[in-house]
Amino acid sequence: MPGYKGHLAGGLFAYFVLMSVSLLYFRPTLFTAIEWSFFALAGSLFPDVDTKSKGQKYFYRLIAVLLIFLAVRAQWRELATVSLIATLPLLVSHRGLFHRLWFIILFPAAIAFGISLYFPNCEHMIKYDYLFFVAGAISHLWLDLGLKRMLRIY
């Protein structure tokens, strides 16, 4: 059970593995490579948003900025949706829902799909960001639980 630095190292490892595969198909710009590393590192901290952690601290800071942005733009439906999503980590136990492989894959997919609806021109970019985020999150599960427990269904 590594701390946040160990999880960041795992996320960095996942980033380099996925980056080496993606380099076989195309050459991303430096900005894109940095963007993908951010998503892999964010994903590596994500499963711990359900407990007091660095991941939770960064998650709620990002949510606060997003809520202010949505309020300034008077996007009340989106603000309500983000608010509801932000309460989810407070309602579950640690190593529960956020440490399930199916959740780590499906929850960010739903978020990515929702964002794609608002920004259809960025759909391709959002898919890659999603892949790097999930790779980082899976590295977290692997470090915490090991492969056998990570793959359990329930």
Range of the domain at 106: 4-150
- Written as six digits, the tokens of 3 are 């701390």
Predicted pLDDT of residue 51: 87
Amino acid residing at 29? T
Average pLDDT over residues 110-128: 93
pLDDT for res 152: 65
SS (H, E, C) 51-86: CCCHHHHHHHHHHHHHHHHHHHCCCHHHHHHHHHHH
Rounded to the nearest integer, the mean pLDDT of the chain is: 90
pLDDT at 38 > cutoff 90: yes
Angle between helix 30-45 and helix 54-72 axes, rounded to 10 deg: 120
Q: Dump pLDDT digits (tens) for 42-83.
A: 999 999 998 888 888 999 999 999 999 999 999 999 999 999
d(CA 32, CA 108): 19
How many domains does the chain divide into? 1
Whether the model pTM is above 0.85:
yes
- The pLDDT of residue 32 is 95
